[in-house]
Amino acid sequence: MYAYDEIDRTLVNERVAEFRDQVKRRLSGELSEDEFKMLRLQNGVYLQLHAYMYRIAIPYGTLASNQLRRLAHVARRYDRGYGHFTTRQNIQFNWIKLAELPDAMADLAEVGIQSMQTSGNNMRNVTSDQWAGVAPGEIEDPRIWAELLRQFTTLHPEFSFLPRKFKIAITASDHDRAAIKIHDIGLRLLKNEQGETGFEVLVGGGLGRSPFIAKTIKPFVHGHDILSYVEAILRVYNQYGRRDNIYKARIKILVHELGIETFAAEVEEEWQQIRDGVLKLDQGIIEDIRSRFFYPAYETLPAMPDELRQAAADPTFEAWRKNSVFAHKTQGYAIVVVSLKPIGKPPGDATADQMDALADIADKYSFGEIRVGHEQNLALPHVRKRDLPAVWKALEAIGLAIPNVNLVSDIIACPGLDYCSLANARSIPIAQEITRRFANHDTANLIGRLHINISGCINACGHHHVGHIGILGVEKNNEEFYQITIGGRADEGAELGSLIGPAVPYAEVADVVEDIVEAYLALRARPEELFVDTVKRLGVEPFRERVYATR
Amino acid sequence: MTSPLQQKIKITGPSIVTANRTWDGAVIYRTGSKSWSDELTDAAIVRTADEARALLTEAVADDLNAIGPYIAPVEVAADGAVKPGNMREHIRLTGATIALPAQA
């Protein structure tokens, strides 16, 4: 956990007071909607189909139990008793009233939660690996750097009016759980030959209307130089980024149009002018941030406790353990992923009661800490292996011991047309129907790792481009249709999926997914060959034939 | 951003003006008596571009109470019953098509 200092607390409280005044002026008519819109967006307040939507940042996906309880309180008191975890380590409330927003914001500020820059053309929540600090083999905890960048970019005047929104993600593991290659800037933490910390810097990734995989702009930037290098990138983007056309305003378009070499040369020239200035990080600053992260006092525990050995006799427990429990860097401990993908329910939603119960479970079994991943699941990062049977029972009691992590029913989906004012088609009912088709755990296990991502419009909040199976909702003559892509992935081998053919109507989407999965089961070289590897080996054609032969 | 009044108004059938209420964001419909209602049945129905422009103009002028007014299609049955003209408006009127996880 990171502990905010007095400066952070003052900043957040002042922001709440400022927004309270802005809301008051809006409701009295002193501010018009045109004047108010940018102010509310900079505080994460959107207007959706039915109501305002409030987006709250969970920096680098780390939550304390008291913070999760406070989110539950906001869900219960100001919303409709639930929240929606997003693909960028945020939580959204869908029914909040503008008149009550300042109170909700103040309640959250008391526990160090805020929503600054969760919308608008500025630097968004800096995201990271949800297993940061506990993943085996991690080079070092990337959240220290994420926090540095968060502080650097929060309310930075030069980055408050960028051509378009800007997103940074950081990973420090070989396996990229933070999807850095689909971010405006992706940072992969490395050590150089001298053992010094630095970053491979990638730039120009993003999804939406024009998807791109980020390219490496510099193979190693020393940690002391990371702020100045990020500033140099942002300055080049701020100078040349298109402000005349919203569809061409993201940095990915600039990088694509200039070419990575030209863009890199521009950044290098800018960087050389500022790299040895005030942004050069003193080791003391880095250590100060590091010292504000608190780590549990791990005990020396056996790798295989008796409690776990005994519980293995229960096949239901064992199915959950094999699916949802992952290796921890410390012997005797485990990471527990809590799937928020119950069969037939909206992906990523948690009720206030579930949030409260999870906070209690975290207090009892995970040193009071919860993590939020971009796959819209949660994690308990520090569970003693001997406590796993008890954690499983506690999760089962709240309907969240769902052994489908990374399986076909672990679907990423945006809110879609059921909530979103930008959407062309619904996402959630499509996800619900697919999970029902694959509700059988044995079948899902037989299929193996398969990520389905669903977006209700081309803005791609559901990351459909990088789903092993991607589903994009479009509207044709007032009807919902869906384009299907296969072969995408968001990890270290990130790729964009390929379209398999013409869009299909709403009622046929789950059938098409079943056809694709059946084709995969028939085509895979061996049971261990993942869906995405079969697509890479064989291409789209055999899947296209299977899906469209009878359509 | 382009004002809705600067955009070319083209309607192909009966239409209404809808927006979201400022203080809570709820869906509202412009009535024929220069006010707002949360019932579609209270909405003023327009059938020509000029009528639509006039209704939209007075709706836009009420910036204090309504956000983002726009013209939306409706279907009017022979008995006068009014229904939303597309899926988006249907969802705005009747709510999400899914069961919500909780109802506080």
- Chain A segment 84-113 residues within 8 A of B by beta carbon are 96-99
Q: Which of A107, A237, A255 is nearest to A181 (CA)?
A: A255
Q: Which of A477, A436, A407, A215 is nearest to A345 (CA)?
A: A436
B104/A417 touch (CB, cutoff 8 Å), yes or no = no
- The strand order across the sheet containing A168-171 reads A127-128, A168-171, A185-191, A197-203, A215-222
Cα–Cα distance, B94 to A192 (Å, whole number):
58
pTM of this structure? 0.96
Residues in A closer than 8 angstroms to B24, CB to CB, are 51-52, 97-99
Q: What is the pLDDT of residues A87-114, one digit of tens each?
A: 999 999 999 999 999 999 999 999 999 9
Best residue in B87, B90, B92, B97 to probe A by mutation, most A CBs within 10 Å? Answer: B87
Q: Are A197 and A140 in contact (CB under 8 A)?
A: yes
Q: Which of B15, B18, B31 is nearest to B67 (CA)?
A: B18
Best residue in A30, A37, A52 to probe B by mutation, most B CBs within 10 Å? Answer: A52
Q: Name the residue of chain B whose CA is nearest to A97's CA.
A: B24
Q: Name the residue of chain B whose CA is nearest to A349's CA.
A: B101
A29/B92 touch (CB, cutoff 8 Å), yes or no = no
pLDDT tens over chain A, length 551 residues: 787 888 989 999 999 999 999 999 999 999 999 999 999 999 999 999 999 999 999 999 999 999 999 999 999 999 999 999 999 999 999 999 999 999 999 999 999 999 999 999 999 999 999 999 999 999 999 999 999 999 999 999 999 999 999 999 999 999 999 999 999 999 999 999 999 999 999 999 999 999 999 999 999 999 999 999 999 999 999 999 999 999 999 999 999 999 999 999 999 999 999 999 999 999 999 999 999 999 999 999 999 999 999 999 999 999 999 999 999 999 999 999 999 999 999 999 999 999 999 999 999 999 999 999 999 999 999 999 999 999 999 999 999 999 999 999 999 999 999 999 999 999 999 999 999 999 999 999 999 999 999 999 999 999 999 999 999 999 999 999 999 999 999 999 999 999 999 999 999 999 999 999 999 999 999 999 999 999 999 999 999 999 999 88
Across the A:B interface, residue pairs with CB atoms under 8 Å apart total 87
Residues in A closer than 8 angstroms to B91, CB to CB, are 49, 417-418
Place of tokens 């050069």: A280
Q: Are A357 and A370 in contact (CB under 8 A)?
A: no
In 10 A of CB A80, how many CB atoms?
A: 19
B101/A351 touch (CB, cutoff 8 Å), yes or no = yes
Instruction: Identify the helix (H) or strand (E) that includes residue A51.
Output: none
Chain B nearest CA to A53, separation (Å): 9
CA distances from A127 to A87, A374, B18, B47 (A): 10, 9, 37, 50
Q: Which of A188, A365, A310, A167 is nearest to A250 (CA)?
A: A167
- What's the longest Cα–Cα distance across chain B? 44
List, in order of start, the domains of chain A with CATH numbers. Answer: 6-109 (3.90.480.20), 142-291 (3.30.413.10), 306-397 (3.90.480.20), 412-548 (3.30.413.10)
Cα–Cα distance, A146 to A142 (Å, whole number):
6
A50/B25 touch (CB, cutoff 8 Å), yes or no = yes
Q: Which of A32, A82, A350 is the closest to B100 by Cβ?
A: A82
Chain B nearest CA to A36, separation (Å): 11
DSSP result, A205-252: -B-TTS-B--EEEEEEEEGGGHHHHHHHHHHHHHHHS-SS-GGG-SHH
Q: Let me know how many helices (H) and strands (E) chain B has, helices first.
A: 2, 5
ipTM: 0.94
Non-local (6+) Cβ contacts of A373 within 8 A are A61, A89, A130, A177, A337, A379
Cα–Cα distance, A402 to A410 (Å, whole number):
10
Domain chopping of chain B, boundaries: 15-94
B98/A346 touch (CB, cutoff 8 Å), yes or no = yes
Cα–Cα distance, A360 to A71 (Å, whole number):
14
Q: What is the pLDDT of residues A315-354, one digit of tens each?
A: 999 999 999 999 999 999 999 999 999 999 999 999 999 9
| DSSP for residue A48 | -
B27/A49 touch (CB, cutoff 8 Å), yes or no = yes
